[in-house]
């Protein structure tokens, strides 16, 4: 089943985000390589492609996991948690309806 992982950043998390990004990307690449990643990306702090020093307010990942527990475990092991980037992560089941 698909799951939405929505993570909210701590304030002033840009430096920690940049440092932990290579390991974070490796995990996303593994999901993609397995055909389990629908979409992933950061949420800019402002309505600009590159928010500059303002950084990001969070991240969104929609990926396939066997269970809610597996999705939560994957999210809880994200390098951004260990680096102090995230302050909160929400994981919910997701039904993709469009595009068909």
For each of the domains in the chain, give its residue range(s) and CATH number, in order of start.
Answer: 2-47+55-94 (3.30.70.1060)
The pTM score is 0.95
What does the block give as tokens for 66? 């066997």
As a whole-number percent, the residues of the chain with pLDDT over 70 amount to: 100
- HSE of 61, CA atoms in CB hemisphere, 13 A: 23
β-pair type (86-94, 56-64): unpaired
pLDDT of residue 20 exceeding 90, the answer is yes
């Amino acid at each position: 089943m698909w799951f939405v992982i929505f993570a909210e950043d701590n304030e002033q998390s840009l430096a920690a985000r940049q440092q932990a990004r290579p390991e974070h990307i490796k995990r996303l690449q593994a999901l993609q390589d397995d055909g389990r990643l629908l979409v992933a990306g950061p949420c800019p702090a402002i309505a600009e492609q590159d928010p500059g020093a303002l950084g990001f307010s969070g991240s969104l990942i929609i990926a396939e996991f066997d269970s809610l527990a597996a999705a939560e475990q994957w999210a809880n092991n994200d390098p951004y948690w260990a680096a102090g980037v995230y302050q909160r992560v929400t994981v919910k089941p997701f039904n993709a309806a469009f595009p068909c």
